[in-house]
Amino acid sequence: MITLFHTYYNQRHMLPLHLHAWWLHRRPIKYVLVDDGSQRAIDWFPFPSCSIYRVQEDIPWNMAGARNLGFHVAQTPWVLMADIDHVMTPEALERVTRLDLTDPNVVYSFSRRRIDGVYGGEAIINALLNRQRFFEIGGFDEDFSGHYGSEETFFEHCLKQHGLRHVRCQDIVLEWHPFSGATSRLRRDRQFNRELFNKKMGLLHQGQYKNGRLLRFSWSRCEGTTRPAATRPAPIQIPISSRFRSVRTF
């Protein structure tokens, strides 16, 4: 069994899409939502096998911390992470459950296609990896939180430095819903994190890098957010531009 977690920030409109996909996929998977300090917390989510955790502080660009929390609360040996604007369609989830999980030194990343059909390429933020190896590597570096960019690229370099093999699964395609607007009010100045990235890369190449403390914020599990459902919910009305389409391999 694997855990699938999504990091979430003020994107309530994305939740029905994920709920719809999960109900269509019937293999045993544990689901986690990590609410990264949204102004309006998720008050309920009608999926019985989904747990919700909330970062109490609203830290700008805290993707590193939110992803660390997702791995921390996961209770399975393998963990699949994805941002909330990337939907694991039933076809993609089915393919993920067939992957070979015997080698903990393998990292699987997945393709993404925008809802208008444009291919977006692979991204390490949509990846399946061994939970124990994740923490042995040090997880995401939360020094990057508070400013925009570079934490994903640096994490990918850390994977390589520790000898993990990156397998790009082009036949597993996530549905990408970009431009949600949830972070439009935040500054995207990359200068601070670019300088931090260069400094940390120097330490990494010299063998002197060590990640600092993880989970540098208060967080909690949201009790009572999930409600058992005896039957599948009524079909969700989704705009035609956002409906699931068949996923082709290429």
pLDDT at residue 48 in the model: 78
Answer whether 21's CB lies under 8 Å from 2's CB.
no
pTM: 0.87
Main-chain dihedrals φ then ψ at residue 203, nearest 5 degrees: -65, -40
Q: Which CATH class is domain 2-242?
A: alpha beta
pLDDT tens digit sequence for 75-111: 999 999 999 999 999 999 999 999 999 999 999 999 9
In angstroms, the CA 172 to CA 76 distance is 21
In percent, the amount of the chain with pLDDT more than 70 equals: 86
Q: So where are the chain's domains?
A: 2-242
| DSSP H/E element including 158 | helix 151-161
Q: What is the pLDDT of residue 28?
A: 85
Predicted confidence (pLDDT) per residue in 55-81, tens digit: 999 999 999 999 999 999 999 999 999
Rg value, the chain, Cα: 18
Sequence length of the chain is 250
Q: Is the pLDDT of residue 180 over 70?
A: no
Structure tokens of 54? 């909330």
If one compares 46 and 79, the residue with the highest pLDDT of the two is: 79
pLDDT at 184: 60
Tokens of 137: 């590597």
CB atoms under 10 Å from CB of 95, counted, come to 18
Q: Determine the pLDDT at residue 51.
A: 92
Q: What pLDDT sits at residue 131?
A: 98
**77/49: higher pLDDT:** 77
Determine the average pLDDT of the residues in 23-27: 84
Q: What is the mean pLDDT of the chain?
A: 86
Between 25 and 203, the higher pLDDT residue = 203
